[in-house]
């Protein structure tokens, strides 16, 4: 009974310790959904998850049904044939586009997570007791992974919180997620990335990365940055066009102010609306740039916006002007014919 | 006549619940792996338990970590029901920070330190002797 009393007192102290810790950890939100931002930095600057930004990005991504539903490696089933009236066909196409929109759900773009350096106890008595670290994981089923207690007792006696990599590994050991490996796939090494990019398989790399890493881990951000850089260098934007990664690519380029290649590509493919919305997104994200202020003062829209952008901001203005002229010529020919 | 009821319903008179380590994977030699388990005291060590509360892997992995897991929610429940943790489980819980450090952990640490100091004191006496022997030979 006395033991129970002491144990209860220590539980009291531990629960106090537990109440201290969650405030230091990230706020409770499942990573796969769009988090409402709790940190109020950059009040003026729009975030990736703003509805206006998301709207523009979904419009630019496009909805090529043929590409979204292209055959993936699955179990072979014989095809089914249905006899439909044209109305039923329209309904079926409508349902398919709904399904495609669900598949094109963009993964969130979050700032890089800060490393955990929290030491709970230093027990110098335990120095040299063990040659290995002891990692303690809390396997209670009903707490979200972000709030789980994972502590490490070092051989020199310090009890510290586990680093993000250790946390990811332990959570994968005890709560395995399908497709995720304990140590990351060899494809994420730099030499292998170059090889895979030369084979035009950026989408596969990004899919693997999405499964393997958390969206705010440094590996995820590095791999995505490398992929987007490579795509920008070679102008292969079409590879990602109707996939869920296109929004991330557009956001990355807009934040880095290097949208010229993408605009040229859109004009070549005669997607004027997309180019216009991209420029408007750029003005939303960088409201203090010259072209944004010019556009706001002139209340421009459509090709006017593009022309203002080419004059003020872009580094490859010649290219964009040429592309614009070619596009106008083609549209004139079409309207004439 | 064998009383079948006594074989099927192993309710114990005066038995209690313990939280202890049970050896798992008994078909593999030289590879221990323990389950942290709430079981009746009278049951065999590896026999039928009430609930599994965690694991303990005594061999370190490639990152030099020994992995231990606890289901703290259920451990709290069983301790609230009056289960007793055994000494090794209490030591592990102490090292994890859930319990205070077990006195035997501290005692072992002090004994180890005393032994280390003894061997260190013995070594400087031995090494000059060894040096002389090598020179002679």
Q: Residue B103 is part of a domain; what is its CATH number?
A: 3.30.1320.10
Q: What residues have CB less than 8 Å from B117, skipping those under 6 apart?
A: none
Q: How far is A26 from chain B (nearest CA, A)?
A: 21
Q: Which of B76, B97, B109 sits opposite A125 (nearest CB)?
A: B109
Inter-residue contact A213 to A31 (CB < 8 Å): no
Q: From chain B, which residues contact A within 8 Å (Cβ)?
A: 54, 60, 63-74, 76, 79, 95-101, 105-106, 108-110, 112-113, 116
Residues of A in contact with B76 (CB under 8 A): 11
Give the integer Cα–Cα distance in Å for A303 and A324: 9
What residues of B are in contact with residue A156 (Cβ under 8 Å)? Answer: none
Cα angle A323, A329, A333 (rounded to 5 degrees) comes to 145
pLDDT value at A188 more than 80: yes
Let me know: does B70 contact A138? Beta carbons within 8 Å: yes
Q: How far is A213 from chain B (nearest CA, A)?
A: 19
Mean pLDDT of B81-101: 93
The more confidently predicted of residues B12 and B85 is: B85
Rg of chain A in Å (alpha carbons): 26
What pLDDT is stored for residue A21 in this prediction?
40
pLDDT at A39 over 70: no
Integer Cα distance of A150 and B72 in angstroms: 12
Average pLDDT of the segment spanning A238-259: 85
Interchain proximity A129–B54, CB inside 8 Å:
no
Average pLDDT of chain A? Answer: 80
- Candidates B34, B51, B60, B93: best to mutate against A (most CBs of A within 10 A) is B60
pLDDT for B23 equals 92
- Reported residue count of chain A is 337
- C-alpha distances (whole Å) from A44 to each of A287, A288, B62 are 9, 10, 47
Which residue is closest to B66 within chain A, CA to CA?
A: A134
Residue B28, min C-alpha distance to chain A (Å): 21
How buried is residue A160: exposed, middle or buried, by Cβ count under 10 Å (0-12/13-18/19+)?
Answer: middle
Residue of B55, B68, B72, B110 for testing the chain A interface, max A β-carbons within 10 Å: B72
* pLDDT value, residue B54: 94
Cβ pair A120:B97 closer than 8 A: yes
For residue A36, is pLDDT > 60? no
| Cβ pair B99:A123 closer than 8 A | no
Would you call B113 and A128 a contact, using CB atoms and an 8 Å cutoff?
Answer: yes
**pTM metric for this prediction:** 0.72
CB B84 within 8 A of CB B16: yes
Total count of domains within chain B: 1
Return the pLDDT at B103. Answer: 94
Going across the sheet that includes B17-23, the strands are A119-122, A158-161, A150-153, A133-138, B65-70, B51-56, B34-40, B17-23, B84-85
B61 CA: distance to closest CA in chain A (Å): 9
Closest chain B residue by Cα to residue A3: B84
- A224: exposed, middle or buried (C-beta count within 10 Å: 0-12, 13-18, 19+)? buried
User: What are the extents of the domains in chain A?
Assistant: 119-162
Does A120 sit within 8 Å of B70, measured CB to CB? no
Do residues A244 and A105 make contact, with C-beta atoms less than 8 angstroms apart?
Answer: yes
Which of A191, A188, A228, A190 lies closest to A208, judged by CA? A188
Strand partners, A304: none
Residue B55 lies in a domain: yes
CB contact under 8 Å between B97 and A136, yes or no, is: yes
Task: List pLDDT tens digits, range B113-137.
Answer: 899 899 999 887 776 666 666 666 5
Is A121 within 8 Å of A159 (Cβ atoms)?
yes
For residue A246, give the nearest of A267, A232, A256 by alpha carbon: A232
Answer whether B100 sits within 8 Å of A123, measured CB to CB. Answer: no
Asked if pLDDT for residue A299 goes beyond 70, the answer is yes
Chain B residues in contact with A173 by the CB 8 A cut-off are 67
């Amino acid at each position: 009974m006395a033991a129970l009393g002491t144990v209860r007192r220590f539980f009291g102290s531990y629960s106090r310790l537990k109440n201290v810790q969650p405030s230091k950890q990230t706020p409770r939100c499942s990573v796969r959904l769009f988090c409402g931002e709790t940190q109020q930095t950059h009040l003026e600057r729009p975030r990736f998850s703003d509805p206006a930004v998301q709207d523009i990005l979904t419009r630019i991504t496009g909805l090529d049904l043929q590409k979204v539903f292209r055959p993936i490696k699955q179990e072979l089933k014989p095809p089914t044939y249905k006899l439909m009236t044209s109305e039923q066909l329209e309904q079926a196409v409508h349902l398919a586009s709904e399904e495609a929109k669900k598949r094109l759900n963009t993964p969130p773009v979050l700032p890089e997570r800060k490393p955990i350096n929290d030491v709970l106890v230093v027990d110098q008595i335990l120095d040299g007791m063990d040659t290995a670290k002891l990692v303690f994981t809390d396997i209670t089923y009903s707490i979200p992974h972000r709030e789980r207690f994972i502590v490490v007792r070092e051989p020199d006696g310090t009890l510290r919180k586990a680093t993000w990599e250790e946390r990811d590994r332990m959570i994968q050991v005890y709560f395995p997620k399908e497709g995720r490996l304990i140590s990351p796939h060899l494809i994420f090494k730099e030499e292998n990335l170059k090889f895979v990019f030369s084979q035009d398989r950026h989408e596969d790399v990004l899919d693997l990365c999405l499964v393997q890493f958390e969206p705010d881990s440094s590996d995820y951000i590095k791999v995505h940055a490398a992929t987007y850089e490579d795509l920008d260098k070679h102008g292969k934007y079409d590879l990602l066009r109707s996939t869920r990664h296109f929004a991330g690519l557009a956001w990355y380029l807009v934040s880095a102010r290097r949208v010229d290649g993408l605009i040229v590509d859109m004009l070549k493919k005669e997607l004027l609306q997309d180019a216009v919305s991209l420029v408007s997104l750029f003005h939303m994200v960088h409201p203090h740039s010259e072209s944004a202020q010019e556009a706001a003062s002139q209340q421009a829209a459509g090709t006017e916006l593009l022309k203002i952008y080419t004059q003020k901001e872009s580094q490859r203005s010649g290219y964009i002007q040429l592309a614009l002229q070619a596009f106008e010529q083609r549209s004139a020919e079409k309207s004439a014919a | 006549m064998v009383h079948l009821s006594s074989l099927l319903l192993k309710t114990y008179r005066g038995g209690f619940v313990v939280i202890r380590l049970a050896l798992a994977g008994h078909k593999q030699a030289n590879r221990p792996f323990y389950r942290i388990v709430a079981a009746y005291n009278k049951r065999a060590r590896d026999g039928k338990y009430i609930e599994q509360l965690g694991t303990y892997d005594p061999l370190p992995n490639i990152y030099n970590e020994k992995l231990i897991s606890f289901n703290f929610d259920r451990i709290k429940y069983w301790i609230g029901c009056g289960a007793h943790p055994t000494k090794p489980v209490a030591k592990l819980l102490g090292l994890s920070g859930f319990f205070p450090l077990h006195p035997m952990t501290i005692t072992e640490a002090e004994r180890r330190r005393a032994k280390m100091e003894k061997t260190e004191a013995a070594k400087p006496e031995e090494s000059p002797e060894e040096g002389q022997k090598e020179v002679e030979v």
